[in-house]
Amino acid sequence: MATCVQLTTDGTLVPTGQPVSECAGYVMLSGAEMDVIAALAQVFAVPDMATATAWFSAAFAAPLVCFLVADMVATIRRVFD
């Protein structure tokens, strides 16, 4: 659970007891909260150029490949009719 802390003059952190929404000092997160933030940052991170290009190309290539396969199947089917 996040805790509101204040930095003292000797460099130690002291809990203030304030709610996190009204914290005037620093907010210290627990390990579990930090793991969630790290996971969310990884999910919403901007992909590198190679990954973005691959996804963009696949979005256009997949329907084209499906059309070509369906056309070949239709051609083969017409041969046997």
* Distance of alpha carbon 26 from alpha carbon 11, whole angstroms: 13
> pLDDT, tens digit, for every residue of 15-52?
998 999 999 889 999 999 999 999 999 999 999 999 99
Instruction: Read off the pLDDT band of 63 (50, 70, 90).
Output: very high
Name the residue ranges covered by the structural domains of the chain: 1-45, 47-81
The model's pTM is 0.51
- At residue 81, does pLDDT exceed 90? no
Cα radius of gyration rounded to whole Å, the chain: 28
Residue burial 53-71, b: 16+ Cβ < 10 Å; e: rest: eeeeeeeeeeeeeeeeeee
